[in-house]
Amino acid sequence: MFIRSERLFLRPAWPEDAEDLHAALQDRQVVRNLARVPWPFEMEHARAYAGRPAEQGLPQFLITLPGAGGARLIGGAGFTREGAGVEVGLWIARGHAGQEFGTEAGRAILRIAAALGHRDLRAVPFIDNPASGRVLEKLGFHRTGRIFERYSQSRKMAFPAREYAIELAGAAQGPGGPRAALAADRDGGLCAA
């Protein structure tokens, strides 16, 4: 599955992306905000991620920025199953922060979520990552009021995280259902997990 937004191209990871992914996640400040990414992020981790098969209905994307010299890897986004629900996650490399790439990528993957039939999504950034919370709120997520300890592989400990939620109006009703646009497309939604 591929997504083209105004400035970005989101696509699956391929084994040949391992080196670029490894290089992009050598920033401890970025990795510490991701619950499922270990620190240090080794080449073996990058190879494992880039080579794993996609889980049906839960696509993962590398976020790339096309340019004259090719497309540069600037982040990642995707979905995971958490209990009975679906969680959305996103990261942007620090050198590309502050340019609304997270917002743009978030809008794109929320449209995909609606088309896949996901109705309710959650995002759970660590509370010491207020930038992710601001992106989520800008994109239509709301705070649920729930704060809980979430294990962080990079921090090697549980740390407080705040839950956000969004309901995708008009989401397709299961596989093969009508493709639907995100009702909140006026400002979409997403963040890091």
* Structural domains of the chain, with CATH: 3-186 (3.40.630.30)
C-alpha dist (Å) from residue 134 to 55, 80, 140: 29, 21, 10
How would you label 41-57 residue by residue, b for 16+ Cβ within 10 Å and e otherwise? beeebbbebbeeeeeee
Instruction: Classify residue 119 by burial, with Cβ atoms within 10 Å: 0-12, 13-18, 19+.
Output: middle
Say if strands 85-92 and 120-123 run parallel, antiparallel, or are unpaired.
parallel
Tokens, residue 37? 């990414």
The pLDDT, as a whole number, for residue 83 is 83
Tell whether omega for the bond before 160 is within 30 degrees of 0, i.e. cis: no
User: DSSP class of residue 44?
Assistant: H
The pLDDT, as a whole number, for residue 143 is 98
The pLDDT, as a whole number, for residue 192 is 40
Query: What's the whole-model pTM score?
Result: 0.87
Helix (H) or strand (E) holding 100: none
Q: Among candidates 32, 39, 124, 132, which has minimal Cα distance to 80?
A: 124
Q: Among candidates 142, 135, 61, 141, which has minimal Cα distance to 100?
A: 135
Q: Among candidates 39, 34, 25, 32, which has minimal Cα distance to 74?
A: 25
Per-residue pLDDT of the chain (193 residues; tens, 9 = 90+): 899 999 999 999 999 999 999 999 999 999 999 999 999 999 999 999 999 998 999 999 999 999 999 999 999 999 999 888 999 999 999 999 999 999 999 999 999 999 999 999 999 999 999 999 999 999 999 999 999 999 999 999 999 999 999 999 766 554 433 333 333 333 333 334 3
